[in-house]
Amino acid sequence: MTIRGKLIVQTVALQVVSLLLLSYGSILVERQLGERQALRAGGLLKEAVAHAATDALIQRDQVQLLSYLNFLKLQYPSLSYAHVVWRKSGKTFLQDLGEPDPGARVLEDRVLVPDPSEADRSVEITFGVDQDVLRAPQRESEHRMIRVLMLVGAGTALIGLLLAALLAASLTQTLGALGVMAAQISEGKLGVRLEWDSEDEIGALVRVFNAMSERLAELDLAKKNFVSSVTHELRSPLGAVESFIPLIREKLASGDAAAASSARDYLDRIQANVQRLNRFITDLLDVAKIEQGKMECVLRPVDFGPIVAEVAQFFEPKARQQGLKIENMIQGAAPVVADPERVRQVLVNLVANAIKFTPASGRIWISGEQVRESGRRWLYVTVGDSGRGMDGADLARLFKPFSQGRNAADGVVGPKGTGLGLYIVKSIIDQHGGRVDAASAPGQGTRITFTLPAAE
C-alpha cells in the first residue's frame, strides 16, 4: 500500500474509532439521565395517585377519585390502568379504570391509604405503569442524539479524509521528488538541488539531500582536479628531465668548455624540475595525512620573528626577478606556541601565492599584531599583496583541496600549481587552534590573515 493510502486509511480509522468511543460515552450518559428522569416521573405518579386517594377519602367521594385518576391518566400517559378497592367495615367496593395493553411492558405498583378519621375505612389503588411510554421521551432523545452524532461523524470523516489526502499529497510529492533526485545522483548527475522551504522534518531532509548532492559534486570536482593535477604535475617535470638527459649526454660527448657550461645549465633545470616534483609529492602526502587526520603539529614556544625574516629573505631574489618588493613589518620578537616547520610552510605557501599572483612593480607585505581574544593573546599575521585579487566565487572555495581560481594560470610565471597550498595552510592553522581569513577583490589585491596562539 502506498504511503498516501496508509495515511488516509489510518486517519479515517482513527476518526471512526474516536467517534464511536465518544458516541458510546454520550449515549451512556444520556441513558443514565433518562433513567433518572423515568424514576422521578414514576415517583411523581405514585405521589399523585396517593394524593388523589387521600383527598377522595376525606371528601368521601368515590366518583371524584375516578375522575381524578382519569385526569392523571391524561397527564401521565404511562399510567396504563388502575384498580381501586374501597374498604369499609369488612365491605369492599371496586372501581376499574382502563385495561393493561396486551404485550405492553407494564410494571404494577400499589398504594394503600387509610382514612385519617375512620380507622376501618381505606382505599387501595393498584395501578400499572407502561414502561415503554414512560421511557419514550428518553428513547426519542437518544435517537436524536445518535442522528446528530452520525451527522457530525460523517462531516468530520469527510473533512478528515480531505485533510489526510492533502497531507499525504504534500508528503508524497516531496518524497517522490527526493526519489527522482536520488536517482539522478545515482546516474552521476551530481549537484542537483530540490527547491523546498519548510521548517519541518521534510524540510530538514531536503536540506540534508541538497547538502549531500552539493558535497558529492565538490568531491567529484576535487577528484577530477586531482587526476588532472597529478597527470600534469608528474608528467611535465618528468618530461623535462627526460628531454634534458640526452642533451647533457650530447654536450658531454662533444667535450668542449662551452658545451660543459650548457650541460651544467641543463642539470640546474633538471634539479628545478625534480624539486617541483618533490614539492608536489610532499603536498600530496600532506593532503593524505590531513584526510586521515594524521597531520600532527608539535607545538612549543617559538619566536615567529626569525621565521618570517628567513622566509622573506628566501623569496627576495625571486621577487626581485619579477619586479616585486617584499616588506617584512614584523620586526623584533613575536613569541608564539607553534610547530616552527609547519608555520614556516604556511608562510612559504602564502608568500609564494602573493608572488605568483602579483604583476611586476607590485608590493607584498607581511605584518603582525597581538590581539587579546577569548581570554588569551593571539598573533594576527597578514600576508598582503597588491596583485590581481579574486572575486567572491573564487574566495568561496579558496581553502578547498585542488581548487584554483578560474584564471589561476593567466600571466603566472613558472609552474601553475595544483590548488593544494591554501588547503594545507588552513589545516596547519586549524591544528594550532587558529583561524585563516581571506579578504580580496578583483584588481584590489589580497590579504590572507591567520592567527597563532601567542606565547605568554
Ligand X SMILES: Nc1ncnc2c1ncn2[C@@H]1O[C@H](COP(=O)(O)OP(=O)(O)OP(=O)(O)O)[C@@H](O)[C@H]1O
Q: Does 427 bind ligand X (CB under 6 A)?
A: no
Q: Does 394 bind ligand X (CB under 6 A)?
A: yes
| C-alpha cell recorded at residue 241 | 628531465
| CA distance from start to end of the chain | 68
CA-CA-CA-CA dihedral for 6, 11, 12, 13, to nearest 10: 80
Stretches 17-25, 106-114, 366-374, 398-406: which one binds ligand X (CB under 6 A)? 398-406
88 beta partners: 91, 121
Residue 434 binds: one of Mg ion, ligand X, none (C-beta under 5 to 8 A by kind): none
Output 251 or 356, the one with its CB closest to Mg ion. 356
Cβ 303 to ligand X shortest distance, Å = 26
Long-range contacts, stretch 57-64, CB < 8 angstroms, 24+ apart: 57/113, 57/114, 57/115, 57/116, 57/121, 57/122, 57/123, 58/115, 58/116, 58/117, 62/86, 62/93, 62/95
Q: What are the distances in angstroms from CA 276 to CA 218, 230, 272, 280, 292?
A: 27, 12, 6, 6, 24
**Mask for 116-155, x = binds ligand X (CB under 6 A):** ----------------------------------------
Output 138 or 418, the one with its CB closest to Mg ion. 418
Q: Does 339 bind ligand X (CB under 6 A)?
A: no
Q: How many chain residues are in contact with Mg ion, going by CB under 5 A?
A: 2
Among 368, 421, 434, 445, binds Mg ion (CB under 5 A): 421
With vertex at residue 452, the alpha carbon angle to CA 435 and CA 426, rounded to the nearest 5 degrees, is 40
| C-alpha cell recorded at residue 61 | 367521594
| C-alpha cell recorded at residue 246 | 640526452
Phi, psi at 101, each rounded to 5°: -65, 130
Residue 390 binds: one of ligand X, Mg ion, none (C-beta under 5 to 8 A by kind): ligand X
Cβ 328 to ligand X shortest distance, Å = 17
Q: Does 353 bind Mg ion (CB under 5 A)?
A: yes
Residue 408 binds: one of ligand X, Mg ion, none (C-beta under 5 to 8 A by kind): ligand X
Cβ 218 to ligand X shortest distance, Å = 15
Give dist(CA 56, CA 67) in Å, integer: 10
Among 311, 312, 338, 422, binds ligand X (CB under 6 A): 422
Residue 387 binds: one of Mg ion, ligand X, none (C-beta under 5 to 8 A by kind): ligand X
Q: Does residue 311 contact residue 343 with C-beta atoms inside 8 Å?
A: no
Amino acid found at 318:
K
Q: Does 384 bind ligand X (CB under 6 A)?
A: no
Output 237 or 421, the one with its CB closest to ligand X. 421
Among 408, 431, 435, 439, binds ligand X (CB under 6 A): 408
Residue 418 binds: one of Mg ion, ligand X, none (C-beta under 5 to 8 A by kind): ligand X
Q: Does 401 bind Mg ion (CB under 5 A)?
A: no
Q: Does residue 40 contact residue 7 with C-beta atoms inside 8 Å?
A: no
Question: b/e map of 251-280 (b: 16 or more CB within 10 Å)?
Answer: beeeeeeebeebbeebeebbeebeebbebb
Cβ 418 to ligand X shortest distance, Å = 4
| C-alpha cell recorded at residue 55 | 383527598
- Cβ atoms < 10 Å from Cβ of 107: 13
Q: Does 417 bind ligand X (CB under 6 A)?
A: yes
Q: Which of residues 271-330 bind ligand X (CB under 6 A)?
A: 283
Helix ranges restricted to H, 76-135:
131-134
Among 78, 138, 213, 446, binds ligand X (CB under 6 A): 446
Residues in contact with ligand X by the rule CB under 6 A: 283, 349, 353-354, 357, 385, 387-390, 394, 398, 404-405, 408, 417-423, 446
Residues in contact with Mg ion by the rule CB under 5 A: 353, 421
